[in-house]
Amino acid sequence: MATRRRFLAGSGALALASLTPGRLLAALEQNAAPPARLSDWAAVRAQFALAPGYLHFSSFYLASHPRPVRQAIEDFRKALDANPYLLVEHSMFETLASNLEVKVREQMAPYLGARPDDIALTGNTTAGLALVYTGLPLRAGDEVLTTTHDHNSHHESIRYAVERVGAKMRKVSLFDDAAEAKAPEIVDRLRRAIGPATRVVGVTWVHSSTGMRLPIRALAEAIDEANQHRAEGDHIVLVVDGVHGLGAVDEEVAALGCDFFCAGTHKWMFAPRGTGMVWGKSEVWGRLRPVIPNFSNLEGFEAWLADTPPPGVDARVMTPGGFHAYEHRWAVGAAFRFHLQIGRARVAERIRQLNDQLKEGLAAMRGVRVVTPRDPALSAGLVAFEVDGLAPKEVVQRLLERRIVASTSPYRVSYARLAPSLVNTPEEVETALREVHALART
């Protein structure tokens, strides 16, 4: 097997650019394949080029690319720089068999438990939410029901959509205190909040505000119950912002029960920065109205040439067109292969163990309140907490002085956050706990 060094030696990028798209992708997959040994966590951590001397507890914010992803980006970049026209033309606009975006969807599908044709490619979670909400056929008087716990990007995507047509947005609280919340209460609050005008429910799987993980499958079942008593045209659509669950929780997206799942892939999935996706049920894509012209549906382009009606809406049609940072978009598959080689269940268990260790240590400290639920079924990879007498920003600043990278939650009520991930060790968690304890004592 040719090594990456041998493959890129000599003719280098020109050799890459001369390959057909299918052969190019095969060659780059070989070069960017995950290392053979990811059986221990030190080997996994070694794939990341994070600055030494810091303990990185905010990796969920924007991914440091692991080595296979860095290699894939660089190889695609070299091929594009060597022959941009031929590479893009052959890889995007000739046949489905040679279309690299089709290949990316095929690489993502096994991890998501999805059909490739049900995956739209986007740049981030915000873009995916905006595409879905703006694309839904809302009418005057319709209601989008969301919660008080969601991020600005989610709320604003809804607001923009409802203001265009005279619909309305209503926010409800699914719990009063995340630390004390229980799944049955959460589901019951949503069930009681659904009204006759409700056409869409928008929620967030894992809240970056408190670390709460909602029981999406149970919420979807409650919505299914409500839909049984409605005409098909009035069925409620469930939209999920899933960015902090994807890559951190052992769940297949297509089995969660939601209708649309929007997420950036450049957080817990470690995919190239500026990449994301929307998964939708096959039967609901047709309800959307396209927002941005696409470059993915060749049949639609041919219909435009012939001045005939366009085909129906699917995930390809909803994928925004225009030129993108193709070296990043085409390298997404390397991240999904990296995760699959480690194992989705194994990744989730590691994240759970580290976060349980952190939550238990913080909960045992006087002067510290853990906001995130202790129940692993209602949490994932984010732990939010308070230290008596210190503002969240001050907690983060003092930890940074000790070379620990923490963060604050950017909400009306803010907390300090530590988020143990695959780049951390139990020893690092203990170090972070000692420093928080020192802050609490002062």
Q: What is the pLDDT of residue 336?
A: 96
Cα torsion angle, 419, 425, 427, 428, sign: negative
The CATH architecture of the domain made up of 344-441 is Alpha-Beta Complex (3.90)
Q: Are 175 and 228 in contact (CB under 8 A)?
A: no
Q: What is the pLDDT of residue 18?
A: 54
Q: What is the pLDDT of residue 28?
A: 67
Q: What is the pLDDT of residue 432?
A: 98
Q: Are 168 and 162 in contact (CB under 8 A)?
A: yes
DSSP H helices in 123-151: 125-135
pLDDT tens, position by position, 190-228: 999 999 999 999 999 999 999 999 999 999 999 999 999
Where, residue-wise, is CATH 3.40.640.10 in the chain? Answer: 107-339
* Partner residues linked to 145 by β-bridges: 170, 201
Tokens of 357: 């260790």
Q: What is the pLDDT of residue 35?
A: 74
Q: What is the pLDDT of residue 11?
A: 43
Collect the ranges in the chain with pLDDT lower than 50. Answer: 1-11, 13-14
**Residue whose token pair is 């995760």:** 339
Q: What is the pLDDT of residue 10?
A: 37
Strand stretches in 81-236, DSSP E: 119-122, 143-147, 168-172, 198-204
| Cα–Cα distance for residue pair 130/159, rounded to 1 Å | 10
Q: What is the pLDDT of residue 297?
A: 85
pLDDT tens, position by position, 365-377: 999 999 999 999 9
Identify residue 204 by its one-letter amino acid code: T
Phi, psi values for residue 345, rounded to 5°: -65, -40
Q: What is the pLDDT of residue 34?
A: 75
Burial, 5: exposed, middle or buried (Cβ in 10 Å; 0-12, 13-18, 19+)?
exposed
| Cα–Cα distance for residue pair 178/384, rounded to 1 Å | 10
Q: What is the pLDDT of residue 30?
A: 67
CATH fold of 107-339 reads Aspartate Aminotransferase; domain 2 (3.40.640)
Tokens of 170: 């209503």
Q: What is the pLDDT of residue 246?
A: 98
Q: What is the pLDDT of residue 6?
A: 37
Tokens of 103: 């290949």
Q: What is the pLDDT of residue 332?
A: 96
Where, residue-wise, is CATH 3.90.1150.10 in the chain? Answer: 344-441
